[in-house]
Amino acid sequence: MTDHGTNQGALWGGRFASGPADALAALSKSTHFDWRLVPYDLAGSKAHARVLHRAGLLTEADRDALVAGLDRLGERFATGDLQPADSDEDVHGALERLLLDEVGTELGGRLRAGRSRNDQVATLFKAYLRDHARTVAALVLDLAEAIATQAEKHLGAVMPGRTHLQHAQPVLLSHHLLAHAWPLVRDVGRLRDWDARVAVDSPYGSGALAGSSLGLDPEEVARDLGFDGSSPNSIDGTAARDFVAEFAFVAAMVGVVGLDDAYSTGSSIMPQKKNPDIAELARGKAGRLIGNISGLLATLKALPLAYNRDLQEDKEPVFDSVDTLEVLLPAFTGMVATLTFDTDRMAELAPQGFSLATDVAEWLVREGVPFRVAHEVAGACVRRCEELGVELDELTDVQLAAIDVHLTPGVRDVLTVEGSVASRDARGGTAQVRVAEQLDELRRAVAEHRGWLA
């Protein structure tokens, strides 16, 4: 019988009489997208060599020689000199082949004992995403801080607040800007929550699905790789990909202005154009991020335990989400930081569309009128304004009194944008004193998240 042996650049083959068909090899190949995991694979291999030594399966000299060989591969990768061969099936098989070239088949062949690609890739993927969660979080915080800086710069400027894309109530521009900053801060909080769960669940040591019989300590490997604990169940450790779906979900979560030239583009035919391409690309790429999580969930749906080769398809969509965010966020932050606002035009628009009608109703409530009645009276004021072609503040005292006896000249205190904004002084309101407090609160939250990154 012919002894076929392990396939070149793969980690299997001994039970087969020949190598895989070309079509299978092409389908199975993943080095074109998993090569970015090389540093994490090498770190895992060094940690694995150390637990093999502690278990008495490697001498100290063998451990040191393996770690040195892995370090040399890492140095070559850092310089761009380490590349997979066409025959390599995946990052794991490629690195074993390269390690054998470095340290010889006798020593290099000992490293695979007690581990499987199943527990390897699950752990390395988690480590990769943990690193990039921090990168993405830092970029998101940069954007939140850029928004906060714009909010502070324009503290006191008013604008028309809108609901249903219609004039609703006057608000401060700073208040509106910070409404975009808080979701970003929550996104970072989601990444931290995600990381806390992943940190205590290193699958290394789970083997293919049943764990190891060689006396290896998964907790030691977990600590070596920066985790706080190992997977409590080896089947779940190798098969679970909810951490991928959750990361992809957070990634998918992640007006009257002028654009700086450096963050705008022009037209190929219309010389006057100044296009907001960054904003438009961000909107388009949001669809791409949502598509990544949708496709991933379809891949994971109804998979049986434990590991299945379907899970090779878990990486590309999330790698794409990471790459997309890491190129998009700096551009979007630069755009936000250089925005200019026509605050005079915003102030002119703020009272239009009868946006002070709610202030009339609430003034009547403070005068003792039931809100049901106050709402009807304010509505009648709007109707009269439409008949006369004027805004609310342009109604005369006589016209106001004719609408309802409760509409005394005192109502004019709230028929100004400034009075309307200042009156909304509960926590979370648009009054300048509250927005200033909110800005401080946001910056404290950003600083606390920065502490986690450090």
Among 292, 302, 209, smallest CA distance to 251 is for: 292
Sign of CA dihedral 376, 381, 382, 383: positive
Sign of CA dihedral 399, 400, 403, 405: negative
142 neighbors 325 (Cβ within 8 angstroms): no
Q: Is the peptide bond before 306 cis (omega within 30 degrees of 0)?
A: yes
42 neighbors 70 (Cβ within 8 angstroms): yes
Beta-bridge partners for 180: none
- Catalytic annotation on 321? no
329 neighbors 136 (Cβ within 8 angstroms): yes
Catalytic residue among 175, 213, 230, 267: 267
Among 217, 240, 241, 239, smallest CA distance to 230 is for: 217
Main-chain dihedrals φ then ψ at residue 409, nearest 5 degrees: -55, -20
Pairing status of strand 166-172 against strand 340-341 = unpaired
At which residue do the structure tokens 């208040």 appear?
175
Catalytic residue among 32, 164, 213, 268: 164
Q: Give the DSSP per-residue string, 249-284.
A: HHHHH---EE--GGG-B--SS-TT--B-HHHHHHHH
How far is the C-alpha of 446 from the C-alpha of 436, rounded, in Å? 16
CB-count burial class (<10 Å; 0-12, 13-18, 19+) for 264: middle
- Catalytic annotation on 45? no
Residues with active-site annotation: 164, 267
